[in-house]
Amino acid sequence: MPLFLDNHDVEQLLSMKTCMEALEILYRELGEGKAVAAPRSDIHTQTASERTAEAPMAHYLKTMSGATPHFGTAALRFSSDIVAWRSAGGGMRREKLPTMPGNRWLGLVLLFSSSNGELLAIMNDGVLQRMRVGGANGVATKLLARADASRVGLIGSGWQAGAQVMAVCEARRIKTIKVYSPTRANREKFAAETSRLVNVEIVPVDSQAEAVRDVDIVITSTNSRAPFLGPEALREGVHLSCMQRDEANDDALRRCDPLIVHTHLIENDATSSNLRKYDRPGFELKDHPLKRGIDWKALPTLPDLIVGRTPGRESDAEITGFVNNLGVGAQFAAVGAKVYEAARAQGAGRELPLDWFTQDVHP
């Protein structure tokens, strides 16, 4: 029978070590052409709430999928959100609103067996996606940072930043982490809570410049939609780890050699014509709409690095970089398989009748 696993279950069942181990196997499969990842699909359509809203609003349906022969699984991840575009910092910021009953969001991962097509599990996607994002950057850090790297500068103190810390501490023997984010209370709270989680000293600092001074690894983990990190932040021998593609500016990225991206896949977008009436400066539908001077498709990917098609760090003096430019659905197939395996072994989750999801006619 399929299992239902909520975010609490996933958090108890999945360590960063296990997550990164599963992703390394997946990236090798992707590099060898065995695993499959499909482009993400983003659909925006008008919502009834939009008619009376002060800001542009839409229903946003996001889907991504992939499969891994090693784990014998395939996964479909989807989320259903109401999004709004509100003025912020001279432009517009897209926000996902908690419009479900109880001020909640909806996101699920469906895990399937590649042996007979059976639905194995339904999981909340929140913790799983946080871990796979952090895990991807952690795998890249393991391959690209100097072997003796022990000092980290972190920009960002949100929920995703915690996974980035877990991953870098798994990849290297980290001694100290400096963290900066604009709100002092947030960075101080993050430092206190996360240092206990990873048993590493985390020091909140008052500026971005101080966070990246005299460190071996620079991590950006923000929701910024405009680049804020320049080349002055990258000293000789440092590794730059970006959680998304709009954090380091073009000059900073050009300092990195090698510069590795997560994938060459791009989003497929379908948009209702009703939303075109908001076509004005600062309004963009996409998550990361900023046009860049970087040709992402010309750069090697993490699977290329794993299988040796592109060299990694070749000297301690090199500045290396990784940009987690877009997630892939196959990550959920690999990491989800490890969560499912642990759930079965520990008796976690809630069983659901399989006949709720099967039928006696062929569609």
Residue 180's pLDDT is: 98
pTM of the complete model: 0.93
pLDDT band at 223 (very low <50, low <70, confident <90, very high): confident
Looking at residues 310-332, what average pLDDT do you find?
97
Average pLDDT over residues 123-143: 98
Domain-embedded: residue 37 = yes
- Is residue 121 included in any domain, yes or no? yes
239 pLDDT exceeds 80? yes
Tell me whether residue 363 is in a domain: no
Per-residue pLDDT tens for 104-129?
A: 999 999 999 999 999 999 999 999 99
**135 and 271 within one domain:** yes
| pLDDT-wise least confident of 53-67, 101-115, 237-251, 301-315 | 53-67
Q: Does residue 297 carry a pLDDT above 80?
A: yes
Within this chain, do residues 287 and 342 fall inside the same structural domain, yes or no?
no
Which tens digit of pLDDT belongs to each residue from 26-80? 999 999 999 999 999 999 888 876 555 566 788 999 999 999 999 999 999 999 9
With 60 as the cut, is the pLDDT of residue 311 above it? Answer: yes
Does 362 fall in a domain? no
Task: Assign residue 47 the CATH number of its domain.
Answer: 3.30.1780.10
Tell me, yes or no, whether 195 and 268 share the same domain. Answer: yes
Mean pLDDT of 260-273: 89
* pLDDT for res 271: 82
pLDDT by residue (tens digit) across 147-185? 999 999 999 999 999 999 999 999 999 999 999 999 999
Say if residue 220 is exposed, middle or buried (CB neighbours under 10 Å; 0-12, 13-18, 19+): buried
Residue 35 lies in a domain: yes
Do 232 and 340 reside in the same domain of the chain? no
In a domain, 255, yes or no: yes
% of the chain surpassing 90 pLDDT: 82
Regarding whether 292 and 333 lie in a shared domain, the answer is no
- The answer to whether residues 261 and 142 belong to one domain is yes
* Mean per-residue pLDDT of the chain: 92
User: What residue numbers bound the domain in which 22 lies?
Assistant: 3-127+329-356
State whether 214 and 317 are in the same domain.
yes
> Are residues 166 and 102 both part of a single domain?
no
Residue 236, CB half-sphere, CA atoms under 13 Å: how many? 3
Q: What are phi and psi of 137, to 5 degrees?
A: -65, -35
What is the pLDDT, as a whole number, of residue 86?
72
Band (pLDDT 50/70/90 cuts) for residue 344 is very high
pLDDT band at 263 (very low <50, low <70, confident <90, very high): very high
Residues 306 and 337 in one domain: no
- Residues 305 and 334 reside in one and the same domain: no
Q: What is the mean pLDDT of residues 256-284?
A: 79
The pLDDT value recorded for residue 281 is 55
Assess whether 103 and 35 both reside in one domain. yes
- Expressed in angstroms, the distance from the first to the final Cα of the chain is 22
Task: Give the residue-averaged pLDDT of 91-99.
Answer: 78
Strands of the sheet with 201-204, listed across from one edge: 201-204, 176-180, 151-155, 217-220, 239-242, 320-323, 259-261
- The arithmetic mean of pLDDT across residues 16-24, rounded, is 98
Residue 361 in any domain: the answer is no
The answer on pLDDT for 138 being more than 70 is yes
Looking at residues 279-292, what average pLDDT do you find? Answer: 64
* Mean pLDDT in residue range 225-239: 94
Confidence band for 89, pLDDT divided at 50, 70 and 90:
low
Residue 276 confidence (pLDDT): 57
Q: What is the CATH number of the domain that holds 315?
A: 3.40.50.720
Can you say whether the dihedral through the CA atoms of 160, 162, 163, 165 is positive or negative? positive
346 inside domain: yes
Same domain, 276 and 158: yes
Q: Is the per-residue pLDDT at 280 higher than 60?
A: no
Would you state the pLDDT for residue 95? 82
Give me the number of domains the chain comprises.
2
pLDDT at 226: 84
Any residues with CB less than 8 A from the CB of 221 and at least 6 apart, and which? 154, 155, 156, 158, 160, 161, 164, 243
